[in-house]
Amino acid sequence: MLEVETVYEALGHPRRRYLCYTLLEDTEWTLTELATKIAAWENDVPEHAVTNDRREAVYVSLYHAHVPKLVDEGVIAFDETTETITVAEHAEQVLAALEGMGASLDASQETHAREEIDERTE
């Protein structure tokens, strides 16, 4: 079980929150899929409208900063060969905290995530 401070630190950056929101939708993503989705959310555009430059900027940030942080905390696992992200042992605790804090953290992130989750379950 993670300390509360560690959970808040894991969720402390908007890109890490976006990444965690995607795990509520599906528990396995490639890094490119995540970079596209997060770039779309950050720029408030559909995924097909994300430019290569924006996707690459998010990809680099995820690869070098945010994914390693979440791996170190045991929130996600990252397969270097396939560049696939999956949930890890502490994901449930962090995702529960994220859902519990939801709108107070970042209403636009939650709105984007909820819309996509709702679309997939309809």
pLDDT tens column, 51-81:
999 999 999 999 999 999 999 999 999 999 9
The tally of domains found in the chain comes to 1
Is residue 41 within 8 Å of 109, Cβ to Cβ?
yes
Radius of gyration, CA atoms only, the chain: 13
Sign of the CA dihedral with 69 first, then 71, 75, and 76 last: positive
pTM: 0.80
Nearest to 38 by CA among 56, 26, 11: 56
**Domain containing 111 — which CATH number?**
1.10.10
Q: In the predicted model, is pLDDT for residue 121 greater than 70?
A: no
Number of helices (H) and strands (E) in the chain: give both, helices first. Answer: 6, 3
Per-residue pLDDT, 113: 58
- Residue 117 sits in which domain range? 4-121
pLDDT tens column, 6-44:
888 888 899 999 999 888 888 899 999 999 999 999 999
